[in-house]
Amino acid sequence: MNDNRRLLLAIVLSALVFIIWNHFFAPTMTPPPAEQVSAPVAANPLPTAVAPDTSAEQASAKTTPEVDDVTFTVANSKASYTFNRALQVVDATAANGRFAFNDIVGKFPPVQLYMVEEHQLKPLRFQFTQKHSSASANYFEGTDPTYKIKANVFIDDLGFLHCQLQGSALFKLQVQWQVPEEKFETGILREYVYLASDDERVTVGSSKSIDSKLRWFGVDYRYHFFGIIFPDKMGVRGEITKDGAAALGLLDAHQNVEFKFIFTKKNYDDLVALGDHLDQTVNFGMFSILSIPILRCLQLFYKWVHNYGVAIIFLTILIRLLTFPLQFKSYKSMKRMQDLSPEIAKIKEKYKADPQRLQQETMALFKQSGANPLGGCLPLLLQMPIFFAFYRVLYSAVELVDAPFIFYIHDLSSKDPYYILPLLMGLAMFVQQKMTPSPTVDKNQKRIMLLMPIFFTFIMANFAAGLNLYIFVSTIFGIFQQKLVYKAMELEKARALAGKK
pLDDT digits (tens, 9 = 90+) for 188-230: 556 777 777 666 777 776 777 887 778 888 888 767 888 888 8
Last residue of a domain, one of 259, 283, 307: 283
Element (H, E) at 331: helix 324-339
262 and 114 co-located in one domain: yes
CA nearest to 195, candidates 209, 213, 179: 213
Give every CB contact of residue 381 below 8 A, 6+ residues apart in sequence. none
Hey, CA dihedral for 92, 97, 102, 106, is it positive or negative?
negative
CB 150 within 8 A of CB 163: no
Query: How much is the pLDDT for 473?
Result: 92
**37, pLDDT greater than 50:** no
266 and 363 co-located in one domain: no
**Amino acid identity, residue 423?**
L
17 and 45 co-located in one domain: no
250 and 329 co-located in one domain: no
Lowest mean pLDDT among 4-18, 253-267, 411-425: 4-18
Last residue of a domain, one of 226, 258, 283: 283
CA distances from 141 to 152, 159, 233, 367 (A): 5, 19, 24, 81
DSSP codes joined into one string, 49-64:
P-STT--HHHHTS--P
CB 273 within 8 A of CB 158: yes
**In degrees to the nearest 10, what's the CA dihedral of 248, 254, 256, 257?**
-10
279 and 293 co-located in one domain: no
DSSP-derived 3-state class of residue 148: coil
Residue 437 lies in a domain: yes
Q: What is the Cα–Cα distance from 456 to 394, expressed in whole angstroms?
A: 18
Q: What is the Cα–Cα distance from 15 to 396, expressed in whole angstroms?
A: 24
Q: Which residues pair with 195 in a beta bridge?
A: 199, 216
CB 154 within 8 A of CB 138: yes
Query: How much is the pLDDT for 25?
Result: 46
Q: How many CB atoms lie within 10 A of CB 44?
A: 17
Residue 315 lies in a domain: yes
Last residue of a domain, one of 223, 257, 283: 283
212 and 326 co-located in one domain: no
**Amino acid identity, residue 396?**
S
409 and 463 co-located in one domain: yes
161 and 98 co-located in one domain: yes
403 and 479 co-located in one domain: yes
CA distances from 379 to 95, 324, 372, 453 (A): 45, 10, 12, 19
Q: Which CATH number covers residue 82?
A: 2.70.98.90
Confidence label for 185 from pLDDT (cuts 50, 70 and 90): very low
Count of all residues that appear for the chain in the document: 501
**166, pLDDT greater than 80:** yes
Element (H, E) at 227: strand 224-229
379 and 490 co-located in one domain: yes
Most confident of 126-130, 245-249, 448-452: 126-130
More confident residue, 390 or 29: 390
**126, pLDDT greater than 50:** yes
Residue 34 lies in a domain: no
**Amino acid identity, residue 360?**
Q
294 and 279 co-located in one domain: no
Residue 91 lies in a domain: yes
Residue 32 lies in a domain: no
pLDDT digits (tens, 9 = 90+) for 451-493: 788 888 888 888 888 888 988 998 898 888 888 887 877 777 7
Instruction: For residue 263, give its domain range.
Output: 41-283
Query: How much is the pLDDT for 63?
Result: 41
- Total of domains in the chain: 2
242 and 308 co-located in one domain: no
Q: What is the Cα–Cα distance from 75 to 183, expressed in whole angstroms?
A: 32
Residue 36 lies in a domain: no
Residue 462 lies in a domain: yes
- What is the percentage of the chain residues whose pLDDT exceeds 70? 74
Query: How much is the pLDDT for 305?
Result: 93
Residue 273 lies in a domain: yes
DSSP summary character for residue 66: P
More confident residue, 445 or 409: 409
Phi, psi of 200 (to 5 degrees): -135, 160
Element (H, E) at 19: helix 2-24
